[in-house]
Amino acid sequence: MKRRSMLSLLGAAPALLAGSKLEAAEKKHSHARHSSMGASDKIVGLNPRGTPPAIQLIPMAPRLTTLDGKTVYLISDGFPGADVFLNEMKIWFAKNMPSVKTIYRLKAGGFAADDPKLNAEVKANGNAVIMAIGH
Amino acid sequence: MVTIAFHDLAETNAASRGVPDLRICYTPHPVWGKTPEEMYAYLEGDDPVTHKPLMPEVISALTKPLTEDEKKTGSVTPPVGPPTYAGSPDELQKYYMDNGMTDFMPIVVPTEEKVAAMLKGTSHSPDEHVGDLTPARGAFPPWSFNVHQVAVNAVMSGATPDYFPTILALAASGQSALFSSTNSLVYAAVINGPIRNKLNMNFGIGTMGPFSQPNATIGRAWGLLSKNLCNGGLPGQTYEGSQGNVINYSNLIIPENEEASPWDPLHVEKGFKKEDNVVSLFFGFGIQQAQGGWGLGIKPVPHYQEAMVCNCVPFATIFGAFIVADPLVANGLVELGFKKKSDLAAWLQKNATDTVGHLKSCLFSRPPMGPAAAGLTDDSVVPKWYRPDAFNFVVAGGETNPYHQIANMSYRMSVSIDKWA
């Protein structure tokens, strides 16, 4: 698993997991209480973070052995220029892999919104999806 | 496929949604604005992350067999670090900052004693669920938080316990002050009701400046909790504002000067009673000084409303216009015949106009559509906003000069502060 992905999956800023002398000391002193406010005295601060949701790992769809003769959906999430970009990709496939059938679609709704109707169409008629994601 | 500018965001999002090894290919940035020929050249070139030819990589992403990691199922609960940190005061200041938990200014270290004191500011129990927060709904899964977790952030900001119900109301709104958009969007929060005086909030001279502990720390607390309660404010991951926005330092807390205003206060307009304590949120691009060349009381009559029309010219209609008027301006407008805020809103909606052609050319504005567009040409002059409620007004300031400020921001919601007392 890529490190950055792992850190992101862990829901924390990368620095938090980089480790520090303070963190090592914390394990020893997590129940410490300060007795006076001298500069060198230890005090204990609380973690300000909220509670992230559990992440359900989603296994990726099995891969195709080849794209030859397959139908690939080219889907835009609606960001400016995506339609032009995916049309160029359509041209690339026609030129370099003419047996691949490409179908362009614009996903309905906002950038992050699901499009169940399009998902159903792809499931029924397609073999693969290339999605251009921007904002 | 994503452009390289959003590499961290793409990887973070994929991981937080359960597909940490999502096969993502990258293009140079930007795509928007490039010619078809330039975009084709991207396809013929290299992925800027792997430096390998892009289209063979795309094909490989669809055909290379899955690894064992890519087939994994199950549930993972992301850890958020230990519940406490121990060290000297200086060590803790550095630790909180180095680990992305501050706004890069010194904090009040949230010890158990200080948090316990903060919790006395509300009757709600520490483990009561307050709400859910995310840097952008739909883009990031929301995190949940309780009263205790909000209290920790409130202590860090320098707030006192009597500010806590207002901070809880902001947290309960579910709106992150550090909204994740490349447009550096921000919030403003208007405070109404007797609580303004109880907390000694500043709604006079310098109201929107750093001249009051409650104004400053309530806003700061909102920023800190927007960062910590939902993993927000991480540039490149959960914050994408290209230039950022200076408002985020204290998030524009505006107590309304109800006493000097000739109009109904904002919360009364929104259906609350005058004696209710309420915070109302506005959202958009930010606020600016609005006097310009039309500004002050130009003889023979002040041009306040005409200045406001001029101020709106560059505004996008995706958001409304939110005007913060000094009491001198508000009273001046009443003398000009705008007895109520709704009178001014109606006048501005009618007179803040643009051509259909220009509205069509603006990314974040929209010309009339459907039946409303019948008979219109690109040269037709139409109101920029369809409805007067696009305009909102708050009176604040110390009457040393008849100034107003104007924001390309929309009213979002009002939340009861009293609920969190």
CA distance A117 to chain B (A): 18
pLDDT average, residue stretch B164-175: 98
Which helix (DSSP H) or strand (DSSP E) does residue A131 occupy? strand A128-132
Q: Do B84 and A47 touch (CB under 8 A)?
A: yes
Q: Is B95 on the interface with A (CB under 8 A)?
A: yes
Q: Is the peptide bond before B383 cis (omega within 30 degrees of 0)?
A: no
Question: Six-digit token pair at B29?
Answer: 């940035």
Is the pLDDT reported for residue A74 higher than 90?
A: yes
pLDDT average, residue stretch A34-58: 81
Which of A45, A62, A113 faces B66 most closely, judged by CB atoms?
A62
Residue type, B241: G
Q: Is B75 on the interface with A (CB under 8 A)?
A: yes
CA A81 to chain centre: 21
What is the share, in percent, of chain B residues with pLDDT greater than 70? Answer: 97
A85-89, A113-117, B58-62, B91-95: range with lowest mean pLDDT: A113-117
Query: pLDDT (tens digit, 9 = 90+) per residue, B13-37?
Result: 888 889 999 999 999 999 988 999 9
Asked if B32 and B182 count as a contact pair (C-beta separation under 8 A), the reply is no
Q: Do B40 and A92 touch (CB under 8 A)?
A: yes
Beta strands in B234-369 (DSSP E): 253-255, 278-289, 321-325, 353-355
Q: Do B63 and A63 touch (CB under 8 A)?
A: yes
pLDDT band for position A30 (50/70/90)? very low
pLDDT band for position A1 (50/70/90)? very low
Question: Six-digit token pair at B418?
Answer: 């009293």
Query: pLDDT (tens digit, 9 = 90+) per residue, B75-93?
Result: 988 889 999 999 999 999 9
Considering only the C-alpha atoms of chain A, give the largest distance between any 2 of them, rounded to a whole number of Å. 77
Q: By CA distance, what is A81's nearest residue in B?
A: B32
Tell me the H-state helices in B191-264.
Answer: 195-198, 213-228
Q: Is B33 on the interface with A (CB under 8 A)?
A: yes
Question: Six-digit token pair at A5?
Answer: 């992905």
- Per-residue CA distances from B171 to B11, B141, B223, B306 (Å): 28, 17, 10, 37
Is the pLDDT reported for residue A95 higher than 50?
A: yes
pLDDT band for position B293 (50/70/90)? low
Predicted confidence at residue A37, as pLDDT, reads: 43
Q: How far apart are CA A93 and CA B191, in angstroms?
A: 58
Asked if B6 and A134 count as a contact pair (C-beta separation under 8 A), the reply is yes
How many residues in chain A?
135
**Number of CB pairs < 8 Å for A and B?**
273
Which of A43, A51, A60 faces B19 most closely, judged by CB atoms?
A60
CA B156 to chain centre: 21
Query: pLDDT (tens digit, 9 = 90+) per residue, B299-342?
Result: 556 789 988 998 998 999 999 999 999 999 999 999 999 999 99
Asked if B25 and B60 count as a contact pair (C-beta separation under 8 A), the reply is no
Q: Which of B23, B32, B90, B225 best probes binding to A when mutated, by most A CB atoms within 10 angstroms?
A: B32
Q: Do A43 and B138 touch (CB under 8 A)?
A: no
Residue type, A43: I
Q: How far apart are CA B121 and CA B385, in angstroms?
A: 42
Which helix (DSSP H) or strand (DSSP E) does residue A116 occupy? helix A116-125
How much is the pTM? 0.81
| CA-based nearest residue to B55, from A69, A63, A93, A101 | A93
Torsion angle of C-alpha atoms B215, B220, B226, B232, degrees rounded to 10: 150
User: Which chain B residues are Cβ-neighbours of A12 within 8 angstroms?
Assistant: 78-81, 231
Tell me the H-state helices in B106-190.
Answer: 112-119, 147-157, 164-172
Q: Do A47 and B82 touch (CB under 8 A)?
A: yes
Q: Is B74 on the interface with A (CB under 8 A)?
A: yes
Considering only the C-alpha atoms of chain B, give the largest distance between any 2 of them, rounded to a whole number of Å. 79
| CA-based nearest residue to B366, from B322, B319, B411 | B319
Ramachandran angles phi, psi of B257, nearest 5°? -85, 75
Contacts by residues A109-113 (CB-CB < 8 Å, ≥ 24 positions apart): A110/A78, A110/B138, A111/A77, A111/A78, A111/A79, A111/A135, A111/B138, A111/B139, A112/B136, A112/B138, A112/B139, A113/B138
Q: Do B231 and A29 touch (CB under 8 A)?
A: no
Torsion angle of C-alpha atoms B305, B311, B312, B313, degrees rounded to 10: 120
pLDDT average, residue stretch B195-200: 98
Predicted confidence at residue A31, as pLDDT, reads: 40
Is the pLDDT reported for residue A20 higher than 50?
A: no
Q: Do B83 and A84 touch (CB under 8 A)?
A: no
User: Which chain A residues are Cβ-neighbours of B62 within 8 angstroms?
Assistant: 63-64, 67, 72, 128, 130
Predicted confidence at residue B236, as pLDDT, reads: 87
Predicted confidence at residue A21, as pLDDT, reads: 40
User: Which chain B residues are Cβ-neighbours of A66 within 8 angstroms?
Assistant: 63
Per-domain residue ranges for chain B? 2-71, 89-420
Residues 6+ apart with CB under 8 A from B316: B285, B362, B363, B364, B365, B408
Q: Locate tokens 């000094």: which residue?
A: B326
Q: How far apart are CA B204 and CA B196, in angstroms?
A: 11
Q: How far apart are CA B250 and CA B221, in angstroms?
A: 8
Identify the bridge partners of residue B289 per DSSP, sorted by sequence position. Answer: B405
Q: How far apart are CA B259 and CA B131, in angstroms?
A: 33
Which of B 353-382 lie inside 8 A of A, CB atoms?
A: 363
Q: How far apart are CA B114 and CA B123, in angstroms?
A: 17
Asked if B87 and B111 count as a contact pair (C-beta separation under 8 A), the reply is no
Predicted confidence at residue B296, as pLDDT, reads: 54
Q: By CA distance, what is B30's nearest residue in A?
A: A81
Q: How far apart are CA B111 and CA A76, in angstroms?
A: 49
User: Which chain A residues are Cβ-neighbours of B119 within 8 angstroms?
Assistant: none
Query: pLDDT (tens digit, 9 = 90+) per residue, B106-135?
Result: 999 999 999 999 999 999 999 999 999 999
Q: Which of A29, A31, A33, A49 best probes binding to B when mutated, by most B CB atoms within 10 angstroms?
A: A49
A92-106, B55-69, B294-308, B360-374: range with lowest mean pLDDT: B294-308
Query: pLDDT (tens digit, 9 = 90+) per residue, B48-57?
Result: 999 999 999 9
Among A38-42, B234-238, B380-384, the range of highest mean pLDDT: B380-384
- Per-residue CA distances from B279 to A126, B78, B166 (Å): 50, 33, 7
Question: Six-digit token pair at B21?
Answer: 């090894």
> Is this complex scored with an ipTM above 0.85?
yes
pLDDT band for position B294 (50/70/90)? low
SS3 content of chain A, % helix, strand, coil (to 5): 35, 20, 45
Q: Do B20 and A65 touch (CB under 8 A)?
A: no
Predicted confidence at residue A112, as pLDDT, reads: 74
Query: pLDDT (tens digit, 9 = 90+) per residue, B332-382?
Result: 999 999 999 999 999 999 999 999 999 998 888 988 888 888 999 999 999
Q: How far apart are CA B3 and CA A132, in angstroms?
A: 9
How many residues in chain B?
421
Predicted confidence at residue B266, as pLDDT, reads: 98
Which helix (DSSP H) or strand (DSSP E) does residue A94 occupy? helix A82-96
Predicted confidence at residue B331, as pLDDT, reads: 95
Q: How far apart are CA B332 and CA B306, in angstroms?
A: 13
A3-12, A125-134, B210-219, B358-367: range with lowest mean pLDDT: A3-12
B277 DSSP 8-state letter: -
Predicted confidence at residue B164, as pLDDT, reads: 98
Q: Is pLDDT larger for residue A26 or for residue B68?
A: B68
User: Which chain B residues are Cβ-neighbours of A89 within 8 angstroms?
Assistant: 43
Query: pLDDT (tens digit, 9 = 90+) per residue, B97-108?
Result: 999 999 999 999
| CA-based nearest residue to B376, from B348, B404, B357 | B357
Which helix (DSSP H) or strand (DSSP E) does residue B12 occupy? helix B7-16
